[in-house]
Chain A
Amino acid sequence: MTEKIGVYVCHCGTNIAGIVDVEGVAKWAAEKLQRRGVVIARDYKFMCSSLGQELIEKDIKELGLTRVVVAACSPHLHERTFRNACKNAGLNPYLCELVSIREQVSWVHTDKAVATEKSKAIVSGGVERVIWHEPLEPLRVPIHPATLVVGGGIAGIQAALEIADAGYHVYMVEREPSIGGHMAQFDKTFPTLDCSACILTPKMVDVGNHPNITLLTWAEVTNVDGYIGNFQATIRQKTRCVKTELCTGCGICWEKCPKKVTDDVFEAGLGKRKAIYTPFPQAVPKYPVLDKETCTYFLKGTCKACEKFCPTGAIDFTQEDEFLQIDVGQIILATGWDLFDVRRMPQYGYGRLDNVFTSLEFERLSNASGPTGGKIVLRDGVTAPASVAIVHCVGSRDKNYNPYCSSICCMQSLKFAHLVHERTGAEVYNCYIDMRTPSKGYEEFYQRLLEEGTHFIRGKVAEVTNAARTNEEEGKLIVQVEDTLIGKQRRIPVEMVILSAGLEPRHDAKEVGRLFGISCSADGWYIERHPKLDPIATMTDGVYIAGVVQGPKDIPASVAQGAAAAARALGKIQQKEVAMEPIRATINQDMCSGCRICNNLCPFNAILFHEDKMVSEVNPALCQGCGTCVAGCPAGAISGTGFSNEQILAQLDGLLLLNIKRLEEVPA
Chain B
Amino acid sequence: MKEYVYFPGCSLEKIAISYHLSALETTKKLDITLKELEDWNCCGATAYFHVDELLAYTLVARNLAMAEKMGTEVVAPCSACYKNMYFTKQHLAEDPDLTEHINDALQEDNLNYSGSVTVKHLIEVFSNDIGAEELKSKVVFPLTDLRVASYYGCQILRPKKDHEDVEQPHFFEDLMASIGATPVDFPLKLTCCGGSLLISSRPAAYSMIHNLLYDAQRAQADVIVTACPLCQVNLECYQQQVNQEYGTQFHIPVVYFTQLIGLALGIPPKKLGFGKEFLSPKKAIDAIKNIKSQEEVITQ
A51 at the interface (CB under 8 A from B): no
Which of A352, A465, A467, A469 neighbours the largest number of chain B CB atoms within 10 Å of its CB?
A467
Q: Tell me if B168 and A467 are in contact (CB < 8 A).
A: no
In the assembled complex, 20 residue pairs joining A and B whose CB atoms fall closer than 8 Å, in A order, are A345-B167, A346-B165, A346-B167, A346-B168, A347-B167, A347-B168, A352-B168, A463-B167, A465-B187, A465-B188, A466-B185, A466-B187, A467-B187, A467-B188, A467-B211, A467-B218, A468-B218, A469-B211, A469-B214, A469-B215
A381 to B89: give the CA distance in the assembly, Å. Answer: 52
Q: How near does chain B come to A478, taking the closest CB pair, in angstroms? A: 9
Binding site for B on A (CB under 8 A): 345-347, 352, 463, 465-469
Interface centre among B185, B187, B211 (most CB of A within 10 A): B187
Contacts of A463 in B (CB 8 A): 167
Main secondary structure of the interface of A (DSSP, over half): loop
Kindly state the separation between the CA atoms of A467 and B210 in the bound complex, as whole angstroms: 13
Q: How far is the CA of A217 from the CA of B187 in the complex (A)?
A: 46
Q: Which of B186-232 contact A (CB under 8 A)?
A: 187-188, 211, 214-215, 218
- Docked Cα-Cα span, A352 to B170, in Å, equals 13
User: Contacts of A345 on B, CB cut-off 8 Å?
Assistant: 167
B254 to chain A, nearest CB (A): 18
Whole-angstrom CA separation of A347 from B214 in the bound complex? 20
Decide if B215 touches A467 in the complex (CB within 8 Å).
yes
Type the 1/0 row for B267-293, where 1 means its CB is closer than 8 Å to any CB of A.
000000000000000000000000000
CA distance A403 to B44 in the complex (A): 35
Determine the chain B residues whose CB is within 8 A of the CB of A468 once the complex forms. 218
14 more A-B residue pairs beyond the given contacts A347-B167, A463-B167, A465-B188, with a C-beta to C-beta distance below 8 A: A345-B167, A346-B165, A346-B167, A346-B168, A347-B168, A465-B187, A466-B185, A466-B187, A467-B187, A467-B188, A467-B215, A468-B218, A469-B211, A469-B215
**Nearest CB on A from B21, distance (A):** 33
B residues 157-173 near A (Cβ < 8 Å) are 165, 167-168
Q: Tell me which residues across on chain B come within 8 A of A465, comparing CB atoms.
A: 187-188
Q: In chain A, what residue has the closest Cβ to B191?
A: A467
Closest chain-A Cβ to B213's Cβ sits at a distance in Å of 11
A470 closest partner in B (C-beta): B214
Residues of B within 8 A of A347 (CB): 167-168
CA distance A463 to B191 in the complex (A): 11
Q: Nearest 6 CB-CB pairs, A to B?
A: A467-B187, A346-B168, A347-B167, A346-B167, A465-B187, A467-B215
CA distance A82 to B188 in the complex (A): 67
Bound Cα distance from A335 to B225, whole angstroms: 51
Q: How far is the CB of B104 from chain A (nearest CB, A)?
A: 36
Residues of B within 8 A of A352 (CB): 168
Once bound together, how far apart are the Cα atoms of A628 and B214, in whole Å? 65
Residue of A nearest to B187 (CB): A467
Nearest Cβ distance between residue A231 and chain B, in whole angstroms? 43
CB contacts (< 8 Å) of B214 on chain A: these are 469
Give B186's nearest chain A residue, CB to CB.
A467
* Chain A residues whose C-beta falls within 8 Å of the C-beta of B187 in the assembled complex: 465-467
* Minimum distance in angstroms from B173 CB to a CB of chain A: 13
Quote the shortest CB–CB distance from A316 to chain B (angstroms): 47
Give A469 to B168 CA distance when docked, in angstroms: 20
CB closest chain-A residue, reference B188? A467
Taken together as a complex, chains A and B put the C-alpha atoms of A465 and B187 apart, in Å, by 7
Name the residue of chain A whose CB is nearest to the CB of B161: A400
Contacts of B167 in A (CB 8 A): 345-347, 463
B174 to nearest A CB, angstroms?
A: 16
Q: Which residues of A contact B215 (CB under 8 A)?
A: 467, 469
Q: Tell me the complex Cα distance, A463–B187, Å.
A: 11
